Amino acid sequence: KVGAFPHRKELKDFDFTFQPSINQEQILDFLTLRFIEQKENIVFLGPSGVGKTHLATSIGIAAAKKRTSTYFIKCHELIQNLKKALLENRLESRLKHYSKYKLLIIDEIGYLPIDTEDAKLFFQLIDMRYEKKSTIFTTNINFKAWDEVFQEPKLANAILDRILHHATVVPIVGDSYRIKDYLDKESE
C-alpha cells in the first residue's frame, strides 16, 4: 500500500552536487531496501532545507513501488493521532495500525516540543516497531538535545536507545536548498 507522500520527490530530482556532505553511494544503497529486510532504521539529521524530507520521501517511494507497505507522517500529526485515539479508547488499535507498516517515515522530530504524556505515546510506537520494522526519521535536533524535545530525559533516552540501536545516521551539513537563490545573489 502506498502511503500519502506530501510531494513526489524522487532521487533523480536530488542534486548531490549541491549537498557534498551526503554520500551518494550510501543513499543509493538505501534504495536497494536491504535496510528494510534487516529491520534497520535511518535517521536524517540536519538543519532546515538540506533535503532530509526529500531523501526520506525518495526512499519511501522506492519502497512503495516495490510493494512494501509504506507510510509517511509528520511526527506532530502522528502524536496528535495517537492522542486522539487514547481519548477515544482505541489507542491499542491505532498503535497496531502504525506498527504494521514495513516502512514508516516519521518526519520532523524536534520542530515542536513534545510533552511527557505525548512522549509516552511516541515511545510505545517506537517500542512496538523496535527490531521488527524499519523506520526513517528526520530531525533537526542533535541527539544530545533530545532531552529538551521530549522534556523527560529518561523517556528521551529510552526512545533514542531504540531508534539508534540498529540505525544508520546520515548527518547533513550545508546550506538550505530553499534559500539557495538568495545565497547565490549574496555572493555575486
- Length of the chain equals 188
Sole binder of Mg ion in the list 19, 41, 53, 70 (CB under 5 A) = 53
Give the one entry of ligand ADP, Mg ion, none that residue 54 binds, where binding means its C-beta sits below a cut-off of 5 to 8 angstroms depending on kind: ligand ADP
Rank residues 53 and 134 by Cβ distance to ligand ADP and give the closer one: 53
Distances (CA, A) of 15 to 6, 9, 48, 141, 144: 19, 12, 16, 24, 30
Rank residues 50 and 82 by Cβ distance to Mg ion and give the closer one: 50
Choose the binding region for Mg ion from 47-55, 117-125, 147-155, 176-184 (rule: CB under 5 A): 47-55
User: Grid coordinates 556532505 are at which residue?
Assistant: 21
Give the one entry of Mg ion, ligand ADP, none that residue 9 binds, where binding means its C-beta sits below a cut-off of 5 to 8 angstroms depending on kind: ligand ADP
Distances (CA, A) of 98 to 11, 39, 115: 26, 15, 20
Q: What is the spatial distance between Cα 127 and Cα 59, in angstroms, rounded to a whole number?
A: 23
Rank residues 53 and 70 by Cβ distance to Mg ion and give the closer one: 53
Report the interface residues with Mg ion, using CB under 5 A.
52-53
